Amino acid sequence: MPTTEKATIRSDHLVRSRIEIKRVLDALIARNQLVTAEIPGGEDPFTARIIGADATWGFIVVTAAADESTNAALLARASLTFVCTLGEWHIEFAAIGPGKVMHEGIPAIRLRYPEILAVQQRRQHDRHEVAATTLLRCVADAGGMLPFEARIRNISLGGISALYYSADITLEPGTVLVGSRIEVPGIDPVVVDLEVRYSEVVTLPDGSRGHASGFRFINPPDTLTRLIAAVAGQ
């Protein structure tokens, strides 16, 4: 049984140790915390509670949805990315292989134990919101295999929050977008590697759905400070 005494979150990082992952999952179970996962093509995200997590046997169990069509769509997925907010922390993890089970007499869904879990404390650095009139854009993964454009919502020395216009783009915690190019008029572009910390579903101004993700800068260049100063003075 998880205990609130041991179920504490201690730092902002990507968790790879099963002991540390168990500590975070125990916190969610102990607090009866809701987690959500987007199902592509669905109108609403899947919402559930984690009711079991066994690191030894290598699985987690979440409550099933009341709507069977939602469960069917979820079970058709190879993997799911769950997100939740616990106090000032944003938590995200991916789990694969969903399957139907009965858990303590109730319908549930079992998935493989997550191998990595993102735990992020918000607002560690001063963030500067990007005005709608500022042409600040990011060509994410410009040095990788699948570059795409994103609009930056805010930026800090620690990282950026970017808004995607395509709901088809899914980024799991720990993904690195190499050679991403941040552009602002009047300043040379800044090229930096971005590590995904979390993602969430958002409603765009036109009413459609998209993704917003938070990124950490990996070895940011000195020129980044100048770019942030320009945004702060917009």
Cβ-Cβ contacts under 8 Å for 162 (sequence gap 6 or more):
138, 140, 150, 151, 152, 153, 212, 213, 215
pTM of the model: 0.55
CATH of 13-121, one of 2.30.110.10, 3.40.225.10, 3.40.640.10, 1.10.1040.10: 2.30.110.10
What residue type is assigned to position 207 of the chain? G
Pinpoint the residues of the chain covered by CATH 2.30.110.10.
Answer: 13-121
C-alpha distances in angstroms, 135 versus 98, 132, 200, 211?
Answer: 42, 8, 23, 20
Torsion of CA 221, 226, 232, 234, to 10 degrees: -130
In the chain, CATH 2.40.10.220 covers 128-232
Closest C-alpha among 5, 9, 7, 2 to residue 119: 9
- Identify the architecture of domain 128-232 in CATH: Beta Barrel (2.40)
91-150 confidence digits (pLDDT tens): 889 899 999 999 988 999 999 999 888 877 655 555 666 665 444 566 766 666 777 787
Give pLDDT, residue 2: 41
